[in-house]
Structures are given as structure tokens and as C-alpha cells.
Amino acid sequence: MRALFFRDLALALRAGGGFGLGLAFFLIVVVLVPFSVGPQSALLTQIAPGVLWLGALLACLLSLDRLLAVDWEDGALDLLATSPLPLEGIVAVKAAAHWVTTGLPLVLAAPVLGVLLNLAPSGYGVLVVSLALGTPALSMIGAFGAALTVGIKRGGLLLSLLVLPLYVPTLIFGAEAARRAAQGLDSATPLLLLAGITLAVLAAMPFAAGAVLRVNLR
């Protein structure tokens, strides 16, 4: 499993763009917001937590398409499925690698982009915590979506349609926590709920994704 994890990491790093693309997309979303809503700093302060969360979510969604598709196309997925590893574990490891290559950079970049959006100073800590708590759930749900659509030609658009409603609770609690912190309110409750969602997703989703993948590999 460890070998698979590092293999996926190496592939993502060397494929060029795989690693930086999500970050660049995140940056683009954040940069485009002041152009679309106007550069008033008070308004930006108000919407900054939500925009940062939305940008992270979209950047995550962007890279899901290739999560399993590459291995599917060159047949590596079939080989992995015949290996002694359980499919659930394979999907979980792939989701973990996806998180390290897209989720983690987003978490680290969010405070820097927060400066661009004039985020209130009290919001930085909780924004990073909420992203760190929430993005693993996004990767795991995304891996389920990717497993669902792996056999479909050009399943990318379908993938976003399937995955977006599943992202709603995570987005709501994550953005809520960041927003509350930015306004100087207590954000413990949404953070705890967010952590609960992530843990539940990490516990249950690999089984759903594994079952789906088994059907697709049949």
C-alpha cells in the first residue's frame, strides 16, 4: 500500500501540471473574484472565507477526473485489482495521494490567497484548520465519484454533476466555520461537525467506492 501511495505521488509530481494545476486554478478563481464583484475591500472581506472554500472545492473537483482514469486506460487498475490488496484499500490510498497532491497545497496556499481577498485577520487560523479538516473528505468523496464514472468515456462532466451535491455538507460547514471565525464568532461547532463528516466519509466511503469499482472492473 505504501508503494502504491508513493507511486501515485511520483506520477502526480512527474506528470507535470498534475501537482501545480490545482493550485493554479485556485489562484485563478481567487484572482477573478475581485474582477467580477468589484474591488471594494469591505465586500471582499465579507465574502473571502466563502470564496476561498469554493475555490478549493473547484480546484479539487478539477483534478478528480484523472484520479482513476489514467490507471484505467493503461490497464494498471486491473493489475491492482488482481493484487492481494483489497479494492477498498486501493481507492483509499489513491484518495490519500490525491489529497496530498491537491488538498494539502490548497491548505497551505489558502492563507496567502486570503491576503489577496482581504480576509479578516481572525479568520486565518480557522480557515486553514477547516480546509485541513474538510479537504480529505472532498478527496474521498471525489474518489467515489471517480470510481463511479471510470468506465465512461468523457465522464468528467458527469463526475462533477454526481459529486457536487455530495460536496454540499462539507462546503457548508467548512465555509461556515471560516466565516464565523472571520467575523470574530466562535466556530467550534461547525468545525466539530466538519470533522465528524470527514471521519464518517473516511470510514464509510472507501467501501462504497470499492463496491463501485468492483462493478466497473467486472
Residue 100 DSSP code: I
* CB 171, min distance to another protein, A: 9
* CB 104, min distance to another protein, A: 24
Side chain identity at residue 177, one-letter code = A
Calpha distance 13→81 (Å, rounded):
24
Residue nearer to another protein on the CB measure, 24 or 157 = 157
Residue nearer to another protein on the CB measure, 8 or 179 = 179
* CB 164, min distance to another protein, A: 7
Distance from chain centroid for Cα 71: 20
Closest CA to 134 of 72, 68, 52, 22: 52
* CB 61, min distance to another protein, A: 14
Cα dihedral across residues 56, 62, 67, 68: positive or negative: positive
Residue nearer to another protein on the CB measure, 21 or 57 = 57
Calpha distance 110→124 (Å, rounded):
9
Residue nearer to another protein on the CB measure, 129 or 205 = 205
Residues that bind another protein in the complex, under the rule CB under 8 A: 144, 148-149, 151-152, 155, 158, 161-162, 164-166, 168-169, 172-173, 176, 190, 193, 197, 204-205, 208, 211-212, 215-216, 218
* CB 173, min distance to another protein, A: 6
* Residue 29 CB neighbours (<10 A): 19
Residue nearer to another protein on the CB measure, 19 or 144 = 144
Calpha distance 87→158 (Å, rounded):
23
